[in-house]
Structures are given as structure tokens and as C-alpha cells.
């Protein structure tokens, strides 16, 4: 091989190796939920997951991900799942499985929503909603006061729903500083600075839940849904 070409090949190989190292960074860890308030966890039902999202802190470019469609069903006058996370621009299909009408709305000032769902198996029993505003949106039913769902909308394709104590893991990242967003079903939202690197030690994190975190979600710091109404009016 000609010496010049050999040097060029070696340089290209080294450059490709550096690129692989830069994009081989990762962030992993576990999140536990610390329960506070007057409600104790009900061990008869599974715990709600924790919403974990990773966002750039230094202007890192995010990979493109095509919009997805998630699904929320209304069964027995309850929205299921009652807690989920989607990427900004994703759509959520609300499906009524009950033989009664439902009228959904939100308390969000940025993207107010009003959806009317006909009885199950009728032409108006489904509605498709695109979520374009990042943040937390609370969904209610004007007819059934105990019907509730919380949807986290994040502007990143790096999102995972994990059970408390189970591992989250983001791979193929650019090395450097990122921001981790944690949210529990009935509690706080935390923003934490983290660093992506190769073979990192696992993070051990926690979020606080104001309710039991199991069974029925009790939104807000007040008495259920009424507490969220008060928060919205302030």
C-alpha cells in the first residue's frame, strides 16, 4: 500500500473510533418513590410507573422519531392508563368503552381541550388528540368526577416509563451534560443535571408522591380533583 494512503486510512479509522466513543455514552439508574400524605400504598394493585425523560442541556442534537399514537381507554368511568408520557407532537387516541357518554376537558391554559365521546361502539366513541405543548396536562370528565388521567408531554425522543425500583437506560448519547426529568403519578416533577459517559455508574434517584401511588390516583395537593381546580384558579 502507498504510504500516503496508509496514513489516510489510519487517520480515518481513528476518526471513526472517536465518533463511536462520542456517541457511545449512556445514562442509567433506578428511581424509587417516597410516599407522603395520609394515604398508604395499597399492595393489592401494581404501583404506577415513573416517567423518565432525558433532555439536552448543551444544545445536543436529538435523533428524529416519527410521531406515535398512544391510547387511553375509558372503562367503568375511569381513564386507563391514568398516567403516561408522550413526545411532543405525538397523538393520543381516547376510546370510550362504556355504554354512557363522556365529556373530557383539561385545565391547561396553554392547550385547552374539550372532547365529547359517544357511547361505546358508536361512531363518536373515539377521538384523536395531538399534543403539541410540552409539560403536564390533567384530563377530567365533566360528567364523571372520578375520571382522571395525567399525561406528561416532553420535547425529546428519550423517554421511558419504568416501575419504581426498576432500571431506566438511555444509550447512544453524545457525551456530556444532560437534564433528567422525573415525574410520579401523584407527586412532584424533578429536573436533575446528569452526565452521559461510557460505562457510567448507575444513578439512584427518588421522587415524592403525595398520595399512595397505587390504585386510584389522587391528583393535586388538595382533596382530589377539587384540589387541582383550586390550583388552576390561583
Low-confidence ranges of the chain (pLDDT < 50): 8, 10-11, 13-21, 38-39, 44-45, 213-216, 218-224, 226, 229-234
Class of domain 63-155: mainly beta
Enter the pTM of the model: 0.79
What digits encode the pLDDT tens for the residues 90-128? 999 999 999 999 999 997 666 678 999 999 988 899 999
Query: Three-class SS string for the chain?
Result: CCHHHHHHHHHHHHHHHHHHHHCCEEEEEEEEEEECCCCCCCCCCCECCEEEEEEECCCCCCCCCCCCEEEEEEECCEEECCEEEEECCCEEEEEECCCCCEEEEECCCCCCCEEEECCCCCCCCEEEEECCCCEEEEEEECCCCCCEEEEEEECCCCEEEECCCCEEEEEEECCEEEEEEEECCCECEEEEEEEEECCCCCEEEEEEECCCCECCCCCCCCCCHHHHHHHHHC
CATH of 26-62+157-234, one of 2.30.40.10, 2.60.40.1120, 3.40.50.1220, 3.40.50.300: 2.60.40.1120
pLDDT at 20: 45
pLDDT at 110: 67
Amino acid at each position: 500500500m502507498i504510504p500516503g494512503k496508509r496514513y489516510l486510512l489510519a487517520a480515518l479509522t481513528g476518526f471513526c473510533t472517536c465518533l463511536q466513543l462520542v456517541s457511545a455514552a449512556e445514562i442509567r439508574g433506578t428511581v424509587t418513590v417516597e410516599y407522603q400524605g395520609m394515604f398508604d400504598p395499597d399492595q393489592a394493585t401494581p404501583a404506577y410507573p415513573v416517567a423518565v425523560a432525558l433532555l439536552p442541556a448543551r444544545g445536543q442534537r436529538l435523533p428524529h422519531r416519527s410521531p406515535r399514537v398512544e391510547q387511553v381507554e375509558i372503562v367503568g368511568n375511569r381513564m386507563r392508563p391514568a398516567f403516561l408520557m408522550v413526545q411532543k407532537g405525538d397523538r393520543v387516541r381516547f376510546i370510550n368503552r362504556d355504554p354512557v357518554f363522556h365529556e373530557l376537558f383539561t385545565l391547561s391554559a396553554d392547550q385547552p381541550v374539550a372532547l365529547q365521546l359517544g357511547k361505546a361502539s358508536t361512531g363518536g366513541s373515539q377521538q384523536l388528540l395531538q399534543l403539541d405543548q410540552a409539560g403536564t396536562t390533567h384530563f377530567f370528565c365533566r360528567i364523571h368526577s372520578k375520571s382522571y388521567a395525567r399525561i406528561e408531554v416532553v420535547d425529546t425522543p428519550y423517554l421511558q416509563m419504568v416501575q419504581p425500583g426498576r432500571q431506566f437506560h438511555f444509550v447512544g448519547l453524545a457525551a456530556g451534560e444532560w437534564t433528567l426529568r422525573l415525574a410520579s403519578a401523584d407527586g412532584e416533577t424533578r429536573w436533575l443535571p446528569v452526565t452521559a459517559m461510557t460505562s457510567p455508574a448507575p444513578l439512584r434517584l427518588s421522587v415524592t408522591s403525595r398520595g399512595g401511588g397505587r390504585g386510584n390516583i389522587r391528583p393535586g395537593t388538595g382533596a382530589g380533583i377539587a384540589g387541582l381546580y383550586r390550583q388552576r384558579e390561583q
